[in-house]
Structure 1
């Protein structure tokens, strides 16, 4: 039987040195509520806080970077989790194809996971989640193509778009149909998971340090959100730009240094 959940974006995680500052910033920009304290039951005593939407659902989590993590090279960033039925087999296949392992396969109460990098160096998690008791049929809703306070788009900037598309197609079953011509900047190639458009792959822009993912968060009003970014000590790197369908997108950096994207209307 075909597993139609393989390759889904099922969770997003903000690594930050200041979870309280991030809570204030994203609360004002997006409307999320981030817990004031970490979960006391988090593995290894980590300071891990849930991101809660206005509808009561989760949008992801916040991992506070401690001194050891920072000494090991961790920096503020957003990372995504991709649904993978067999984490160990996926790690072996990814490394065989030139990918890397940043955190080996590990069992947590919420599932088995690993942090990996694609052959060009973009980092992400793979995970086989364990649903909560009594919710075995429940699927993640952190990603939505149209709803505010959800993640709405996943954009890969890479040194080799053709190779990256082939890699994700092979390992996660993603499709690649359609593209937008960006002129001298190259093609913006759309990605699908099943019938759902989940994001795009694009060539790295001049000055981009390394290949990586940018995740776009849905907001109710792009101009209100941009004003909140600026008022909260963040930066807008580009935008607002009108996108197909009439909404607008921006790219920014939060006060702690993590890059992010926003997408939403001008009501």
Structure 2
């Protein structure tokens, strides 16, 4: 899936505690692997790997999204030429692929990735428990952000949803379907960032699981077009994430 989000990675100071939290809340299973920076947890929706987790000290906890591209080095060059930043130059993960950690001109961080497999691995059904449901950019200025991402990944505007005083919520994606939304968040802390929504089996019970396992509900449940409900939350280590599903 070129120019779409293909993987999600949690950087956290306590992988054991964070892993227990997300298994309880989202319902993921997990396997252990190893990466360039040490032990690596792989989160799975059923039998399908969907994301990973890396323990790192001294780094703000958070989720990173990997966008699949056909040439990591070339795309990193495009990011830099368009005013973005390269935080980690392109490097190989033996047997897995090549990646580079970059940021858009407003500071939101994401990862460029090309896997070593010729065919894309399977993905969970949309909206199924544990799948990625939506990718959302909290920008300083969404229109300038869109002007950065659109030529980079070929994304187009889909629906524009008015949000009153908060302005417009602009959905985006490849021409065939929206994969996310962006808006101007005038109080982004600590700065512009990407937020990722994971599918859950019942939003209300997931809210209770967040609370019971030491997390915090930041917003929601809020109904969105299509009848699903979304919740923004924070895990016990401080990483912000979101989930979506039906009520009940």
TM-score by structure 1 length?
0.88
Question: 1:52 maps to which residue?
Answer: 44
Residue deviations 1:19-52 (CA, integer Å, cap 9, x gap): 11111111111111234xx42x4224x1211112
Provide runs of 4+ in structure 1 moved above 4 Å. Answer: none
SS at match of 2:128: coil
Question: 2:138 maps to which residue?
Answer: 157
Question: 1:239 maps to which residue?
Answer: 220
**Structure 1 residues 231, 83: closer, same or farther in 2, change over 3 A?**
same
Question: 1:189 maps to which residue?
Answer: 170
Question: 2:112 maps to which residue?
Answer: 126
Larger displacement relative to structure 2 (192-201 or 94-103): 192-201
Alpha-carbon contact 2:4-2:67 (below 8 Å) kept: yes
Question: Residue 81 of structure 1 is aligned with which of 66, 82, 87?
Answer: 66
Alpha-carbon contact 1:6-1:173 (below 8 Å) kept: no
- In 1, Cα distance between equivalents of 2:174 and 2:11: 26
Give unpaired runs (5+ residues) of structure 2: none
Alpha-carbon contact 1:247-1:265 (below 8 Å) kept: yes
Question: 1:23 maps to which residue?
Answer: 19
- In 1, Cα distance between equivalents of 2:122 and 2:193: 23
SS at match of 1:22: helix
**Structure 1 residues 207, 108: closer, same or farther in 2, change over 3 A?**
closer
Instruction: Work out whether 1:221 is the aligned partner of 2:202.
Output: yes
Question: 1:42 maps to which residue?
Answer: 35
- In 2, Cα distance between equivalents of 1:231 and 1:146: 24
- In 2, Cα distance between equivalents of 1:243 and 1:192: 18
- In 1, Cα distance between equivalents of 2:100 and 2:130: 26
- In 1, Cα distance between equivalents of 2:153 and 2:122: 17
Residue deviations 1:183-224 (CA, integer Å, cap 9, x gap): 110100001224121000111143533000000010010000
Alignment root-mean-square deviation, CA: 1.5
Greater strand content: 2
TM-score by structure 2 length?
0.95
Question: 2:120 maps to which residue?
Answer: 138
- In 2, Cα distance between equivalents of 1:257 and 1:223: 21
Give 1:138 deviation, angstroms: 3.4
